[in-house]
Every structure is written in structure tokens, then in C-alpha cells.
Structure 1
Amino acid sequence: MSKTNAGRFFEDYAVGQEIVHAVPRTLSGGERALYHALYPARHALQSSDEFARSVGYSEAPMDDLIAFHSVFGKTVPDISLNAVANLGYAEGRFLRPVFAGDTLTATSEVVGVKQNSNGKSGVVYVRTRGENQRGETVLSYVRWVMVRKRDLASAPPQTVIPDLVDHVAPVDLPIPEGLDFTGYDFALAGEPHRWADYSVGEVIDHVDGVTIEEAEHMLATRLWQNTAKVHFDTTARAVGRRLIYGGHVISMARALSFNGLANAQLIAAINSGAHVNPCYAGDTIRAWSEVLDKAETSAPNVGALRLRLVATKGRAGGLRDADGKYLTDILLDLDYWVLVPR
């Protein structure tokens, strides 16, 4: 009997199946420091305990995407070890802040399956929940991933596609307890732009670009204990190149968005997201954002912006061609809510 794990294949999933993921992860200042070394992340709330205390926290929380990647990484051996690609996200909600010293665990429920027409792979939908050491849910999200079949002759399962909301409604946005931007220091945050300064339909070119390096993307992926073969093994894909972990692209784009959105301090929700085209080492990533919506919140002087964050190898503002298809330069199309001072 083999003691090694070859990972699940498409036919190993069934709707309703619950998967408890190994291994618990206690986060520390080391994760924060390495995250800020890998990405140009410099939002003040996650960088400074004193700034965090001035807006209602006891200390600086971890960057929201540190929590996301840590939980996501737990799921990889069970969900996407044999993945062809991670396809998209929906209904993501960042329910509680995560601090240094917190221990995160992850559990997923299979909520949908659909075999592809080629019979060689299928799409698996899972709802993943990340919890802290007190059993509190810190984030939840749905993602879907294309997974290879083990036996091409196996019968396809009954297709089940979950009914997912288009976006998280403003009334359902989680607001951290005690968050208060009344005493917000715009000078220390790095930009003067408030909630009222942004207009629906506005497009922001974040200007800067970063070239993806082979060593850095593998270091980042290992940091989150993500074991997907396609990120490390050049023989795992027909093109003979390592695929950049999609979360690496998300974090890079989010960090680049600081220039123009320095006061978008917290991610409240991920409405949808798609890794549109593959990213490889040597690609230079740029980012732009479009303001999709605005909403007030119940927290003092806190507003919400719904943003489209696009990572691209091309120009700002370009997204689709005349036929409505994504341009080949587009890497990421992410629709999310952020919290900003009013």
C-alpha cells in the first residue's frame, strides 16, 4: 500500500463532500516581512501598529491576502494538486482580521462538478472556510478549478453548478469591529484621496510595473505551502514552463494599486475573479483599476468602493477585443470591495 499522496482526480469529488485540510498554520511577523519583500505592499494599516491603533485596532492586522493565501494553500493538496488551472472565485468575504500569532485551519465543501466535453478533465467547485484558533471564521470563498481525470473511461457525474451571487451586496460587507476612520492620518497613509474623491466609471492607471522572477514566485508559493505541481515542475505542463500561482498575480496587482488607492486599506469581499491568461516568469505585470460602485457603511467615516482590479502585460484600460473576448495581455480580472476613509 502506497504511503504517498498522488492527489485527488476529478472522479474523486462528489457534491456535498467535506474535506478537512491539513496542516494548521500559525502566522507570525515573519510572514508579514516576507510578504512585503515579495510584493511592493505598503498600506499603512498593515504596516504600522500605531497607525492601526489610531483607527480602532489593537495592533496591525496581517495583509488580507496573507490570510487568503494561507487558507488557499491548505486546500491545494486536496483540491488542486492535479489541477490544469485555477479558474475563478466568487462570494469571498473577509469576516475577521487576522493577527500575528493566529493559527489558521481550512475546510472545504464540494458544491459543484461538471465534466468537460473532452472527457479528460472536469471543473470542481468548492466553498472554503478559514478559521482561527477560536473556531471563528476569518474568511470564506468559492473557487472552481479544472482537474484532470484519472480514468478517461469513467462515467461523468451528474452536472451540478452552484448558484452564485453576482457580487456581495453592500449590506453584507463585513466591517471589522471597532473600525473608525475619524482620526485617519492621510499624510502617513500616503495619499489624500477619500471615498468621495472616486467616481463610478473612473479608471486609474497604477503606473508601475514589476517583472516576475522565477525564484521569487516559487518562494512565494512555498510560503503559502501551496504544493501544486504546475508551479514548480517544468514537466507538469505540456509547454514545459512553470505556471505562476494566480495568487502571486493577485498580490502583485493589489500591491501595485497602492499608487492611486493608498487609502484602500482593507479588502472586505471578493465578488468574482478570473485568471484569464497564464503568467510566466519574465512577464512584466502592470495594473489598473475601475471604480464599479460606491457604498456607505455603518462604521464611522468608513466607505466602501467596489473595484475591478486588472493585471495586464499591456496598457491600462484595455480589457476585451471587439468580439468581447479578453485581450491576450490580460492576466487577472478581479472584482472586489475595499474599505476607505470618507
Structure 2
Amino acid sequence: MTKTNPGRFFEDYTVGQTIRHAVPRTVAEGERALYHALYPARHALYSSDDFAISCGLDGSPLDDLLAFHTVFGKTVPDVSLNAVANLGYAQGRWLRPVWPGDTLRAESQVIGLRQNSNGQSGVVWVRTQGLNQSDEVVLDYVRWVMVRKRDADAPAPEPIVPDLASVVDPADLIVPEGLSFTDYDFDLAGESHRWGDYAVSEVIDHVDAVTIEEAEHMLATRLWQNTAKVHFDATHRPDGRRLIYGGHVISLARALSFNGLANAQMIVALNGGAHANPCFAGDTVRAWSEVLDRAPTSAPGIGAIRLRLVAMRDGGTAGTLRSADGKYSPEVLLDLDYWALMPV
């Protein structure tokens, strides 16, 4: 009797299926230190207890994307171990901060299925919740993944494609309890630019760049306990190359965006996202952002800003997203649409 787990294939999913993911993980200051070592992460709210306390919190929470990667990593053995590619995200919301010492676990529900025309794979949509030790939901998002079939002759399920909102309504954004930017220290945060200084359609070239090394992306993916074969096993792809975890590119681009968006302190919603082209070790990653919208909040001194964050390999041009044929430019690695909180 076999005791090893080959992972789920496309025909193993049914709409309405709920998956409780192993293994719960307690996160602490060590995760913060590793996260800030792997990426040039410098946003003040996640770097300094004193700064966070001056903004009305009890201390510095763990980075929003650190929480995302931890929850995402839980889902990989059950959702994307046999994935061809992670295709996109929608309707993501951070509902409460994650604090050092919290224990995170994840649950997913299958909300959509569609077999691809080649009969070799299909797309699976799941809604994932990350929960803390008190069973409070800290994070909720939808993602869809292309997954291999075990048996190409297995019958195709009835296609069900979920209807997903393209943008999280600003009224549904959650500002952490007590957070206030009325006494915000712009000097310590690193820039003077306020919410009102950004204009819709403005494009910001973040200037800096980082070359990805093979070892660091594998260390990062192990940190999140992400077991997807394409990130570690050089025999898994015909070209013999390890694919960079898309979340590694997200965090790298978010960290690079500090130069120009240092005051976009907290990510509170993920409207959508696509990993436009594969990324490999040796690629030099740059980033640019476009301001898509702004919205007030009821929290003191805090506005919400909607941003498009684009990561591109060296050779791409800030502000250029698509080629003449309407497809993503081959230099574009990531197209991410999110809401963040910023002092007004």
C-alpha cells in the first residue's frame, strides 16, 4: 500500500469541495528577519514597533505579503503540486493583521472547473482563507491554476467558471482597528509623498533593480513551505530550469516599489493579478507602478490608493505593459492590481 502523496490532478477536484490544508505554522520574528533579508523590504509599519505604535497599533505586524505567502504555501500540496502554471488572483482581502506568535492555517473551497481544449489539463478555481489560532480569518482570496490531468481520457467535468469582481469595492476594505496616520512621521517613513500627491494614471518608475539568484528563490520558497515541483526539481521541466515562484516576484516588486511609494504602507486588497511570463534565476527584475484610483476611508488620516504594480525583466520600459498584438510584452513578469493604505 503506497503511503506517499502524488498530489491532486485535475480530475480529483469537484466544485463545492472543501480542502483543509496541512500544516499549521506559527510565525514569529524569525520569519520577518528572513523576509526582509530576501527582499529589500523597508516599509516602516512592518519594520519598527515604535513606528507602528505611533500609528495606533500595539506593535509592528508581520508583512502583509509574508502572511500571504505563508497561507499560499499551505495550499500548494493540495492545489498546485501538479500545476502547469498559477494563472491569476482576484477578490483578495487582508482582514486583520498577523502578529508574531500567530499560528496560521488554510482552507480552500473549489469554486470552478474547466477542462482545456487539449484534454491534457484544466483550470481549477479555489477560494482560500487563511485563519489564525483563534479561527479568525486573516486573509481571503481567489486564485486559479492550470493543473495536469492524470488520465487524458478521463471525462471532462461540466465547465463552471466563477463570476469574479474585477475590483474590491473600497467600501469593503478593512482598516486594522486603531490604525491612524494623523501623527505620521514622513521623515522616518522615508518619503514626503501623501495620498493627495498621487494622480490617477500617474506612472512611477521605481528605478532600482535586483538580479535573482538560484539559491535565494529556493530558500524563499522553502520558507513558505511551498512544495511545487517546478520551483525545485530541475528535471520537472523540459528545459531543465527551475521556475521562480510567482510570489517571490510579487514580494521583490513590492519591495522595489518603496522608491516612490514608501508611504503605501499596508496592502489591504488584491484586485487581480497575472504572472505574465516565466521568471528564471539570472533575470534582473525592475518595477513600475501606475495609479489606478484613490478612495477615502473613515479611518483618521488614512486614504486608500489603488495601484498597478508591474515587474519586468531588464530591457522592459516603465509604462509599457503590452505589445502591439495586445499580449503582455515578453519582458513583463507580473501585473498586479492592489489597494494600499496611505497617509492623506
Structure 2-normalised TM-score? Answer: 0.99
Is residue 315 of structure 2 the alignment partner of residue 317 of structure 1? no
Query: In the alignment, what sits opposite 2:171?
Result: 171
Query: In the alignment, what sits opposite 2:61?
Result: 61
Deviation at 1:325, TM superposition (A): 1.1
Is residue 334 of structure 2 the alignment partner of residue 332 of structure 1? yes
Paired with 2:130 and 2:51, the residues of 1 have a C-alpha distance of 26
Instruction: After the TM superposition, list the runs of 4 or more consecutive aligned residues in structure 1 that deviate by more than 3 angstroms.
Output: none
Matched letter for residue 264 of structure 2: A
**Pairing of 1:245-324 with structure 2 (within 5 A):** 245-313=245-313, 314-324=316-326
Deviation at 1:155, TM superposition (A): 0.4
Matched letter for residue 292 of structure 1: L
**Counterpart secondary structure, 1:252:** helix
Paired with 1:240 and 1:154, the residues of 2 have a C-alpha distance of 29
**Counterpart secondary structure, 2:281:** coil
Query: In the alignment, what sits opposite 1:3?
Result: 3
Gapped regions of structure 2 (runs ≥ 5): none
Query: In the alignment, what sits opposite 1:113?
Result: 113
Paired with 1:285 and 1:103, the residues of 2 have a C-alpha distance of 32
Gapped regions of structure 1 (runs ≥ 5): none
Paired with 1:85 and 1:153, the residues of 2 have a C-alpha distance of 21
Deviation at 1:323, TM superposition (A): 2.1
Query: In the alignment, what sits opposite 2:33?
Result: 33
Deviation at 1:257, TM superposition (A): 0.2
Deviation at 1:241, TM superposition (A): 0.4
- Across the two proteins, how many residue pairs are aligned to each other? 342
Q: What's the Cα RMSD here?
A: 0.5
CA deviation vs aligned residue, 1:105-127 (integer Å, no higher than 9, x gap)? 10000000010000000000000
**Counterpart secondary structure, 2:272:** strand
CA deviation vs aligned residue, 1:295-337 (integer Å, no higher than 9, x gap)? 0000001001000000001121111112211100000000000
Paired with 1:261 and 1:198, the residues of 2 have a C-alpha distance of 10
Paired with 1:170 and 1:74, the residues of 2 have a C-alpha distance of 28
**Counterpart secondary structure, 1:242:** coil
**Pairing of 1:202-241 with structure 2 (within 5 A):** 202-241=202-241
Query: In the alignment, what sits opposite 2:139?
Result: 139
Query: In the alignment, what sits opposite 1:184?
Result: 184
CA deviation vs aligned residue, 1:116-159 (integer Å, no higher than 9, x gap)? 00000000000000000011000000000000000011000000
Query: In the alignment, what sits opposite 1:80?
Result: 80
Paired with 2:15 and 2:236, the residues of 1 have a C-alpha distance of 28
Matched letter for residue 339 of structure 2: W
Matched letter for residue 132 of structure 1: N
Paired with 1:99 and 1:255, the residues of 2 have a C-alpha distance of 20
Paired with 2:238 and 2:160, the residues of 1 have a C-alpha distance of 29
Paired with 1:109 and 1:237, the residues of 2 have a C-alpha distance of 29
Paired with 1:220 and 1:240, the residues of 2 have a C-alpha distance of 20
Query: In the alignment, what sits opposite 1:15?
Result: 15
Percent identity of equivalent pairs: 73
